[in-house]
Structure 1
Amino acid sequence: MTQQMRARGRPKSFRKPEDIPRIQAVDRAIDVLETLARGGATSLSALAVEMDQSPATLYRILTTFRLRGLVENNDATQEWMIGASAFRIGAVYLRRSTVASRAMPAMRDLMAATGETANLGVEAEGQVMFIAQVETHESIRAFFPPGTQGPMHASGIGKALLASYAEARLQKLLENAVLTHYTPQTLTSPTALRADLAATRARGYAIDDNEKTPGMRCIAAPIFNHLGEAVAGISVSGPSNRLTADKVAQVGALVTSAANSISRALGADMGMVWLGNLDSNQD
């Protein structure tokens, strides 16, 4: 008897993710989690207004999530919030790689050396997603909670990663990217962005010079794994009046050194990545 092969990943009839029919109830339930994650604790009535959904429908979703620990309810205030089970599920993302745990000591040292916030981010579906941060003690500081996403073309980590990608991967990302204008300094044309990426490769670190948020500067470098692949980026970010133009080279050297240290901890051969072997990685 011929043994049927077990389905792996997706049904054979669906060739692309966009071909798969969406389940509306699941979509709505995930929308509830994402809305709570953005806004923090909120009442059922406020959530219903924000989502333009029936309170009765949302209550059924919330109580189901509460039974599974994905959300919690404060009886005193009647507010709903993300629960511990949602954190445990989300934390699996970080456990896929040791990059976050390997990076934390270097990030703490980087914050101590520069006096500014150190960030760790990865690419997620064409955007930068911040997965860890060591905050400065200064009252005015950059703040990117884990899970925050930002544009690749207007962030230090995003440009550090783009500059390290092989041409085919870079071209694909640029073809699908919308180079949104945020400030007068934002690079909104592929030509200007490519020129900036070339400069990034030449000096070894990327600079976000008020390109996403006026008055904020960010300096970043890529982190490589044992295969020589850029898997994350580390950065220092802060107000431009503290992270001044004359400090960029000094901070850039510190950020690059931290990135290289983490890369070596992940098994990367630093003689074969970034400037050393980028051209041979083109495909």
Structure 2
Amino acid sequence: MAAEPSGNQSVERALTVLRALSGGRTELRVSDVAKATELGLSTTSRLLATLESMGFVDRDPVSGLYRLGLDMISFGGAVLNSHPVHREARQTAQDLAADLGLGVNVAVRRRDRLFYLLNFEGRQAPRPFVLAGQYNPLHATGLGKALLSGLTGEQRRALLPAAALHAYTHRTVTIHDRLDEEIANALARGYATEVEELALGRACVAAPIRDGSGVVVAALSVSGPLSAIDLPAREAALARAVIEAADSISIGLGYLGPAQVAVPEAVA
């Protein structure tokens, strides 16, 4: 008889199953999960049954397909409610989405990608899915550029090697020298823009959020279809609204002004 996996291995396998269910398709067969996790069918089936009994996975009684269980929301809600940026930004972002009629997003940097803490859809920028909990690239988004503005050029290159600057559209910035220029402009103006760099037909305006030490800890953006964003006519007004909202959140986090801004240290 094969030896039972260690406790750590069992936890790792269970988390791998949950990650497989959280990506892309909403419902999967046991064989789909086994393929995605590179686990055996019997092991996968056993893990799914255990996770189902604990409420972390739901199984459709008719199709037999698995999806993440509603109890996972409890964990996500608890994590968000304990995050200082989420607590400080939620009402501000919701009010801004209602005022502008556009999508408003708040994100933090998780290693080499941005992670959405929250988003609200305005009437002109509806979405069929929730952005919170999703990841996106740093170099191809306004939010990402705002987050990267807290790093030096050397730090950005260490974080994002040239090969990591993937092109998502013909407009995506894929060269560090050009990204340096974009971020220098963002620092000078106080906000970053992105037009069809991640997805065609969409644009955004974003500004950094700082904590009490002046470090960039998050970013806020307004986003939507090109027709709704209308940067040629609205850029100044949108930039002002985004900067004011980001500054309000920063003040709530203890930021006192430019004199406190932490200057990024170069990577040795």
TM category (shorter chain) comes to 0.7 to 0.9
Alignment of 1:155-234 (within 5 A): 155-166=141-152, 169-175=155-161, 178-234=164-220
For the structure 1 residues 110 and 225, does the alpha-carbon distance in structure 2 shift closer, same or farther, using more than 3 Å as the test?
same
Whether 1:67 and 2:53 are equivalent positions in the alignment is yes
For the structure 1 residues 176 and 89, does the alpha-carbon distance in structure 2 shift closer, same or farther, using more than 3 Å as the test?
farther
- What is aligned with 1:271? 258
Whether 1:252 and 2:239 are equivalent positions in the alignment is yes
For the structure 1 residues 113 and 138, does the alpha-carbon distance in structure 2 shift closer, same or farther, using more than 3 Å as the test?
same
- Tell me the CA shift for residue 208 of structure 1: 1.0
Task: Tell me the secondary structure at the aligned position of residue 180 of structure 1.
Answer: coil
- Tell me the CA shift for residue 184 of structure 1: 1.5
For the structure 1 residues 143 and 185, does the alpha-carbon distance in structure 2 shift closer, same or farther, using more than 3 Å as the test?
farther
Determine which of 151, 156, 165 is the counterpart of 2:137. 151
**Which AA in structure 1 matches 2:132?**
P
TM-score (norm 1): 0.81
- Tell me the CA shift for residue 103 of structure 1: 0.6
For the structure 1 residues 198 and 113, does the alpha-carbon distance in structure 2 shift closer, same or farther, using more than 3 Å as the test?
same
- Tell me the CA shift for residue 165 of structure 1: 2.6
- What is aligned with 1:42? 28
| Aligned residues of 2:100 and 2:122 also touching (Cα < 8 A) | no
2 CA distance for matches of 1:139 and 1:201? 27
TM-score (norm 2): 0.85
Determine which of 105, 115, 118 is the counterpart of 1:129. 115
For the structure 1 residues 105 and 28, does the alpha-carbon distance in structure 2 shift closer, same or farther, using more than 3 Å as the test?
same
For the structure 1 residues 176 and 187, does the alpha-carbon distance in structure 2 shift closer, same or farther, using more than 3 Å as the test?
closer
2 CA distance for matches of 1:94 and 1:177? 33
| Aligned residues of 1:126 and 1:177 also touching (Cα < 8 A) | no
2 CA distance for matches of 1:233 and 1:126? 15
- What is aligned with 1:261? 248
Q: What are the superposed Cα offsets for residues 154-197 of structure 1, whole Å, 9 maximum, x if unpaired?
A: 01111001112355643432448711111121111110000000
- Cα RMSD of the aligned pairs, angstroms, is 2.6
Which structure 2 residue ranges, 5 or more long, are not aligned? 1-7
- What is aligned with 1:105? 91
| Aligned residues of 2:124 and 2:228 also touching (Cα < 8 A) | no
Which structure 1 residue ranges, 5 or more long, are not aligned? 1-22
| Aligned residues of 2:108 and 2:116 also touching (Cα < 8 A) | yes
Task: Tell me the secondary structure at the aligned position of residue 42 of structure 1.
Answer: coil
| Aligned residues of 1:263 and 1:270 also touching (Cα < 8 A) | no
- What is aligned with 2:4? none
- Tell me the CA shift for residue 281 of structure 1: 4.4
- Tell me the CA shift for residue 272 of structure 1: 2.7
| Aligned residues of 1:174 and 1:190 also touching (Cα < 8 A) | no
Structure 1 outlier segments of 4+, above 6 Å? none
- Tell me the CA shift for residue 45 of structure 1: 4.6
